[in-house]
Each structure stands twice: as C-alpha cells, then as structure tokens.
Structure 1
Amino acid sequence: MRPRPALSAALVCVLALGVLTACSADHDADGVEYAGDYGSHAPLAVVGYPSTSTLGITQQVVWRIADGEVGELAALGDDRQDEAATRKTAENWITAFRTGAAGRVTAEFYDEGSYRQTVVLYLHDTQQIKQLHVLPVSVDRGTAYRVSMAEPDPGEATAVAPWVPKTPGELGSKSAR
C-alpha cells in the first residue's frame, strides 16, 4: 500500500505546526514576562551602543534590584563564580541601590560587548553610580549574557572606579581605563 501524497503532506504540516507552536509558546511566555517587567518599571535611558543582549540583561539587573528580588538577581550572575558570593553580591546591590533603581536610571554602555561590556548605571534619584560587567557565557543553545557578581563585601559593591565619569556621556562611551 502506497502512502497518499496529500495525506503525507498533511501529516508533515501538522507535525511542523506542532513543533513551531511548542517553540513559540516558550518565546511568548518570555515576551509576556518581559512586557510585564517593562510596563511596571521606569524606562531605562541608554547612552552608548549596547547589543540587544547586553541591554536586555542590564534592564533585568535594574528591575531585579528595584524589586528586591535577591534570587532572581543572583540568577543573572555568571554561574562560573562562587554561588555564595554571587548571592551576597545580589543582597549588597539590593541593599545599596534599591531606592535608586526604582527611579530614573541611565545605563551607559562602554566599548563593545563581544568579550565583555562595561556598563555604568546612573541612579539619578539617589545620585548613585554602579559599574557592571556584562559578559557572554556559553550555554546549551549558544551564548547567553550574564553579569559578573563578585562583590560580597558591601564596600566593594558600592565603590566607584576612578575612571567613571560623574555624568553619562562624558567619555563618549569609550572607557578611559
């Protein structure tokens, strides 16, 4: 008995639609979560040239700090680092920057992000400055961006490097290190 071409084509279409629907369900859920976060937080002003990935992770860092979500913030850390230090760093960042992260924030992206991108957060309402390092890491499906979170000492977490300007854009988004 030979398979009928119309039946075979229909079966292929149904299977393809099932695969695509399953893939888009994950994507849709991510989109809904992002839209909810985006709609419930102050907009992030941007200076410099972030990639979509470095901008996305930076927004999430600011949102998690503002919301006081230690576990969710720690999950954005580079998993090659010590888990306890990453969690303590997340706690430090929330304690120090939560009020400022809930208000107006400008993120300045320095240099390019293929290896590591330095991001400086300007928390306007509290006049605080926070420097981050966003880096690509290998994951099962390719590359994801994470944040270096190795500041378990509160003083280190709030320290500002001497090269960081007091206002966004002073160096033209080129680090002077």
Structure 2
Amino acid sequence: MSRIGKQPVRVPDNVKLSIAGNTLNIEGPKGKLRQVVHPDIAIEYNQQNKQILIKRASDEKYHKALHGLTRALIANMITGVTNSFSKNLEIVGLGYNAKVQGKELVLSLGYTHPVHLEIPMGIKVDVTNPTNPAKLTVSGPDKQMVGQFSAVIRGKKPPEPYKGMGIKYEGEVIRRKAGKAFTSGAA
C-alpha cells in the first residue's frame, strides 16, 4: 500500500463533507471546495472516528500513484477550509508598487503601462506595504489556486540576478551575479 494513501484523513468537527458518487464536497469556516476523484479510487467516510479512508482498485503503479495523490488532495482541502493557505510576495524596485482596485490587482513594474490582474474567485489579495519593497499576501482555501496565482504574479516581473529587482517570494534567495568588470588601459 502507498504509505501516504493508507493514512486516514481526520475531519475536524467544524467541517461538513458529502460524497456523491466520485465527487467530494467539503465545506468549512474558510470556504467550500469540490474535488472529482478518479473512478478507480474509492472514498469511505467513517462518521464515528471522523476519518476518511481512501482505497484503490489494484496494486498497479498507476493506481498506487493515484492513491497517494487523492489522499494528499483531500488532506489539503480539509486544511484549506479550516485554516486557509497563503503565500507572501515582495516587489523590489524603485517605483514598483501594488494596489488592489475592486477585483483587480494593479502592479506598477517599470513598464510603460500598469499591469492589471483579475483576482480569481475564492482568492484574497492583501497589500500590506504598497511601495518599495511592496509586500502582498495571496490567500485562500484552495492550495493549488493560491500557488498558481502567486506564480502568475511573480511571472509578470521575475527577479533579475544583477540588482535583484522584480517580484519574489518572501524568503526566496536570489543568486546574484557580478556586473561588468571595469578594466582600465588601452587595448
């Protein structure tokens, strides 16, 4: 058995879940999520122990991989609806800033125009410090959406290796390069 897949997923008291066929709906204080599970994977909910057990159809390599993946996705869903996930980003650069206008994130990144990004439904963006270094937090119950939207934001101006300007994750180390060496003398 998969070491991850065979572990039961504990369901807290403040989380409601329903299983309809191969669709799992989870609702908690931070939001609600839905996951369609592969037909070869079975989900069993034990109400007395408040645990979810995941079973697979066979011991094929493909089913073993799906077994662990499904268990990890369900565990992340439960964590997301109870605690929420978040990623912190820093925008470093002179004149670079960020602000939230309605349902859009507006970034000034040194281009001739501001960059407008529509914030996906279920994701919350907080700008704690709007100017250099601008700090923003992307949070929400869906771990995949939080990571994806953070990557989209970072992709608009990745950090460059010479001055370190751009958008980076908080705590990310940028490998710096030395600039051009000045040599004096006639050639």
TM value normalised by structure 2: 0.21
TM value normalised by structure 1: 0.21
Which has more radius of gyration? 2
Higher-strand-fraction structure: 2
Higher-helix-fraction structure: 1
**Higher relative contact order, chain-length normalized (CA < 8 Å, sep 6+):** 1
